Amino acid sequence: MSDGDLSQMSMLDLFRLEAESQAQVLTNGLLTLESNAAAADQLEACMRAAHSLKGAARIVGVHAGVNVAHAMEDCFVAAQRGDIALRKKHIDLLLQGVDLLTAIANTPESEIGNWAEGNPVLVNAFLEELKSLLENPEQDDPLENSGTIPTVADNAELRTSPAAEGREDAERVLRVTSENLNRLLGLTGESLVQSRWLKPFSASLLRLKRQNYGARKALDELRESLSGLALDERSEAALVDLQHRILEGHQLLSERLVELGSFDSRATNLAQRLYHEALACRMRPFADGIRAFPRMVRDLGHTLGKQVRLQIIGETTKVDRDILEKLDAPLGHLLRNAIDHGIESADERLATGKPVEGSITLEARHSAGMLQITVADDGRGMELEQLRQAVVERNHTNAKTAQQMSEAELLEFIFLPGFTMRDMVTEVSGRGVGLDVVQNMVKQVRGTIRVSSQPGLGMRFVLQLPLTLSVVRALLADIGGEPYAFPLAYIVRTLVLPREQIELLEGRQHFNLDGHSVGLVSAHQLLGGSDPGLVGNELPVIVVADGGHTYGLVTERFLGERELVVQPLDTRLGKVKDIAAGALMEDGSPVLIVDVEDLVRSVEKLLLTGHLNQVQRSVTTDRKRKRVLVVDDSLTVRELERKLLEHVGYEVEVAVDGMDGWNAARTGHFDLMVTDVDMPRMDGIELVTLVKKDPNLKHLPVMIVSYKDREEDRRRGLEAGADYYLTKGSFHDETLLQAVVDMIGEAEA
């Protein structure tokens, strides 16, 4: 935190900030001292933390805090002198003191001065018991025998108000809201996309350089053919001047290309660095989200009469702040389950040759571009045969099917809501109770979870999560002439399916995948767009899974894997069916990110209503639809023209600018091209010129639709090779459609 931030905080804010920091020092130190009472460094750290809190509380006039911190300091000093040996009873009471100090610090400003008067039982009981322990170090543990000492947790009002106040403090200390960070990351992502626009622009200049070289070569050949002729002085001078000008242009273009290449490299590098710095602002160390877990494990273990040690690995691992916040409840469920039903009692552990103290490991690390979090215990594990029996008894499947299930398939049942192998569920946990919460959280962030068990040796849960929610790795697919992005976390498999492998079962199409029957669905029916008119004998299929349902989505073609910066959709749109968010591709064109969970629900709905269409099985059709390529950088105009043409039966593909249109024209077959004039990267005139000069495309009819209605603009377009010129300002629906019919005939031949 900067000095500027601190200077704007009140003394009470500073006290709260110090209390939060010192409370963590005290908690960590006390947990260490519980297992090693002779740890002098931890005694010293705890004594200094209590001393600092005492002074800070005195400065802001919080007398209750002064008294509690002073009493704790005396206890640590006595332990340092050897007057007392810190045992469980001391640790328990001192941890209550930490809770008291935290509650005092997080009390609203209007009430903090009178904290002791408002909660005399809490403070006085703590001070009296600590004094009694110091005066009589050998007495029995009063907490175990009397059970009369109230704690901060007993006061519901104190539990809720400090939490709310603490959240407000966090916002004031941070000074930058999560929303601001999201916007900043979105802008840096856009700058990264924009920086990549230079490369195709550079490629177009390189093409211009080649054309210039061709002109220079043609001129040399012309001069050589005229060498035997007697040219007058004026013609000779004109040829020399033309050669000189072309050479100058070639050299200038070469220099500018080098400069542009250098600028492209610097701009892309700068945008990349800017993006990663903005992304780093969202990252926090794993330790920030798990500070409460060591204390929770210790307290719960003592409550259940078990000795449990939590080992944390990877505390410095960087985690997206949004993911870190979402991890609190799921990891809490897994740890409580491990303590309550994973770790055995002391007698049971001794009987099986295990140490009395149970061990739980919580690890975070980066692996293969993902965040991997592991929760493992050395407890009793899961007896698979008992699990198999429980699955059958709870009518999740029949006995025959259960016997054929693998370990991984059986363990998936523990994530069902309410699933437990016990007849009685404790208040603490039940193996499986709450695990649906873990799985739901993992799905929300586009991750996966795996579970494995070794009977008698323990269980292991592995959460595979994205490093950040701001970026998603996805497979792009062409559906109805539009690109859609499918997050890789939801994709089971991609394959090219031969049509002869499609089977009909009860009127529904299926195919076999690894011995399982998978329903086949046309992605076009779900996401819209033009009818794909799939031809050929093989279908590109994306196999997705969610909630136990697996479907194969038939697309037109795969467009490759991309790393996309997630752009939330405008909130005014509400929830867009089957769509989660948007993104920009490298050329700046938009792409929609599919909400696979919603998509699967849509398939289920179509199945229930009987409206699910079959994927067209015929390889060819008797009537062939004519294809039109629409090239326009205006989304509104592009979509208007596409819808008009599709409505009357034409198959339409769109391109977002001249370069995109040129690439589309060369790689696909079209009966007509409709293009704008003013577009980035390559304008319509250059596009028409390239098309008419290409031996394979020169017979493709081209219609220009432009806002420019001057005669010179019309003449320029027609001279470039356009077959028809129509102005946007004057055409109506019928005008455009009639012009298309005049040029290539009706939609179906």
pLDDT greater than 90 at residue 378: yes
pLDDT greater than 70 at residue 580: yes
User: Looking at residue 730, what is its pLDDT?
Assistant: 57
Q: Which two tokens stand for residue 399?
A: 């006995």
Return the DSSP state at 345.
Answer: P
pLDDT digits (tens, 9 = 90+) for 205-237: 787 878 888 888 888 888 788 877 777 888 888
Exposed/middle/buried for residue 618 (C-beta within 10 Å: 0-12, 13-18, 19+): exposed
pLDDT digits (tens, 9 = 90+) for 248-265: 888 888 888 888 878 888
Q: Percent of the chain scored above 70 by pLDDT?
A: 85
Going from the C-alpha of 678 to that of each of 203, 416, 632, 698, the distances in angstroms are 19, 57, 9, 22
User: Looking at residue 154, what is its pLDDT?
Assistant: 44
Of the listed ranges 1-10, 40-49, 668-677, the least confidently predicted one is 1-10
The residue among 275, 339, 206 whose CA lies nearest residue 566 is 275
Which CATH number is correct for 471-609, 3.40.190.170, 2.40.50.180, 3.40.630.30, 3.10.180.10? Answer: 2.40.50.180
Mean of the per-residue pLDDT values for the chain?
A: 80
User: Looking at residue 400, what is its pLDDT?
Assistant: 83
160-163, long-range: CB < 8 A, 24+ apart: 161/106, 161/107, 161/108, 162/102, 162/103, 162/105, 162/106, 162/107, 163/106
Q: What is the pTM of this model?
A: 0.56
Q: Which residue has the higher pLDDT, 550 or 200?
A: 550
User: Looking at residue 9, what is its pLDDT?
Assistant: 66
The type of residue at 371 is L
pLDDT greater than 70 at residue 600: yes
Architecture of domain 191-282: Orthogonal Bundle (1.10)
- The CATH class, in words, for 627-744 is alpha beta
pLDDT greater than 70 at residue 505: no
User: Looking at residue 178, what is its pLDDT?
Assistant: 67
Q: Percent of the chain scored above 90 by pLDDT?
A: 10
pLDDT band at 113; cut points 50, 70, 90: low
pLDDT greater than 90 at residue 362: yes
Average pLDDT for 13-27? 86
Average pLDDT for 386-414? 82
Q: Which residue has the higher pLDDT, 140 or 311?
A: 311
Residues in the chain, how many?
Answer: 749
User: Looking at residue 156, what is its pLDDT?
Assistant: 37
Q: Where are the domains of the chain?
A: 3-175, 191-282, 285-466, 471-609, 627-744
pLDDT greater than 50 at residue 517: yes
Q: Do domains 471-609 and 627-744 have the same CATH topology?
A: no
pLDDT band at 434; cut points 50, 70, 90: low
pLDDT digits (tens, 9 = 90+) for 524-537: 888 876 655 555 67
User: Looking at residue 312, what is its pLDDT?
Assistant: 93
pLDDT greater than 50 at residue 708: yes
Q: Which residue has the higher pLDDT, 439 or 469?
A: 439
Domain at 3-175: CATH code: 1.20.120.160
Residue 260 · residue 209 · CB < 8 Å? no
What CATH homologous superfamily does 285-466 map to?
Histidine kinase-like ATPase, C-terminal domain (3.30.565.10)
